[in-house]
Amino acid sequence: MRPGFGRACGRRWAGPSALSAGQRARSVAAERELRTRATDRRRRAEVRSVERWEGFRKCPGCGYDIATGEGERSCAWGDCPYLPEELNVFCDYCRFDFATMEGNPPCSDPMACDHGVEPRSHVENVREWRRALGLAVP
């Protein structure tokens, strides 16, 4: 059946402009409210994420303090299962530490290595985290 010739209600289809001004205003306000709620949810999630890594010191059952570099590791060297992703500055390929520039990378230039793109983006998080803890920033 073609639009405009509906038999079910006995009225012609009036198109999208059939909403009254009040209905359009309510619709726009509802859409704005939904966008605001989505933005608020995103902001709360970001805050929770930051709070999660800002309060991190060491893993349960581990004697190594990642912030100070002191203590004995109970897991693989630098491969901490509880380390928040935002604080992971280790290359997944060779475990080079981009925050302290320590390690033995197989590539000639670790700062240009494709494996280090994500860990290099977390270096500033680690520096901010150490500042917040009152520790020296390397």
Placement of tokens 């509880």 in the chain:
82
Supply the DSSP string of 56-80, one letter for each residue: ----TT---BTTTTBS--SSSTT--
Identify the domain containing residue 118 by its residue range.
17-132
In a domain, 9, yes or no: no
* Nearest-5° Cα angle at 124, 123 to 129: 100
In a domain, 2, yes or no: no
In a domain, 6, yes or no: no
In a domain, 11, yes or no: no
In a domain, 69, yes or no: yes
Residue 3: what pLDDT?
55
Q: How many domains does the chain have?
A: 1
Residue 10: what pLDDT?
58
Walking along the chain (138 residues) 10 residues at a time, the average pLDDT comes out as: 54 60 72 72 56 70 77 70 84 87 88 91 88 79
Among left, alpha and beta (phi > 0; psi -120 to 50; other), residue 84 is beta
In a domain, 79, yes or no: yes
